Amino acid sequence: MIAKAELEKMGLAELQGLKEAVEAVLAEKANAEMAQLQKRMAELKALGGDPRRPQQQGEGRTRASPKPKYRSLKNPETVWTGRGATPNWLKAEMEETKKPQEAFLIAETA
């Protein structure tokens, strides 16, 4: 390590040369570290997945379709999972029959 007192004794040309030498060593070390990181990333990618993006829990699996919760009284094949906006067929049947939405629930079988 060069002491500040030693640096102050150096001339402008010597300091400029020292600066260039330090920058060259820094560039070499940065390039070597970058090459090492790229090699490690390639190894991780070969093992599977993108090393820059951590794998999420359950990633790669698909979710099962939600089971229907409501069934039409007029047409038993028409069902609704209970997600999203209430379908028009259910609104119309509730108006016609004057029954609440709960009347259209599918009985769970255990």
Residues 2-15: tens digit of each pLDDT: 898 898 999 999 99
* pLDDT for residue 52: 65
3-state secondary structure 75-99: CCCCEECCCCCCCHHHHHHHHHHCC
| Residue 38 identity | Q
Contact 82, 70 (CB under 8 A): yes
Dihedral sign, CA of 95, 97, 99, 102?
Answer: negative
Residue that wins the pLDDT comparison between 87 and 48: 87
Helix (H), strand (E) at residue 5: helix 4-9
Q: Is 35 helix (H, G, I), strand (E, B) or coil?
A: helix
pLDDT tens for each residue of 67-109:
999 999 999 999 999 999 999 999 999 999 999 999 999 987 6
Q: Is 80 helix (H, G, I), strand (E, B) or coil?
A: strand
Average of per-residue pLDDT across 37-47: 86
Tokens of 26: 């820094």
Confidence of residue 51 (pLDDT cuts 50, 70, 90): low
